[in-house]
């Protein structure tokens, strides 16, 4: 299992479009992916779960990835968040 702390750095946080990109990317891997914020743990492959985190700009979210492709999954998801979900702000 790989645990990583992500800092949401895009202006709008984990809004619908960013959540959709994250869940689509997480769903493309065989590994299980979970996000935790304020003691709420959700499946990152569930868009409703991700949006329920209500993670705004500057929020810290813990990500756990476990499975056969956990390393590339972690790398891809971290890159997506660090790229501000491709939104540029």
Q: What is the pLDDT of residue 55?
A: 94
Q: What integer pLDDT is reported at residue 88 of this predicted model?
A: 75
Count up the domains in the chain and report the number. Answer: 1
Nearest to 45 by CA among 74, 68, 70, 21: 21
- Per-10-residue mean pLDDT for the chain, 89 residues long? 95 92 97 96 96 93 97 97 86
Among 9, 12, 15, 66, which one carries the catalytic annotation?
15
The pLDDT value recorded for residue 24 is 97
> pLDDT at position 87, please?
82
- With beta carbons less than 8 A apart as the criterion, state whether 83 and 57 touch: no
* CA-based nearest residue to 62, from 86, 83, 38: 38
Q: pLDDT at position 86, please?
A: 86
CATH number at residue 60: 3.30.1340.10
For the question of residue 15 being annotated catalytic, the response is yes
pLDDT at residue 6 in the model: 95
Distance CA 57, CA 34 (A): 19
Which 8-state DSSP code applies to residue 63? E
Angle between the N-to-C axes of helices 70-82 and 16-27, in degrees from 0 to 180, rounded to the nearest 10: 160
pLDDT given for residue 1 in this prediction: 96
Strands 40-43 and 2-7: unpaired
Q: Which residues form the domain of 50?
A: 2-86
């Amino acid at each position: 299992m790989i645990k990583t702390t992500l800092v949401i750095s895009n202006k709008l946080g984990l809004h619908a479009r960013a959540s959709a990109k994250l869940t689509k990317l997480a769903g493309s891997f065989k590994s299980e992916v979970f996000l935790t914020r304020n003691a709420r743990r959700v499946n990152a492959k569930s868009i409703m779960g991700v949006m329920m985190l209500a993670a705004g700009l500057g929020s810290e979210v813990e990500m756990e990835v476990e499975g056969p492709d956990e390393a590339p999954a972690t790398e891809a998801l971290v890159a997506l968040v660090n790229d501000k979900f491709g939104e540029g702000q």
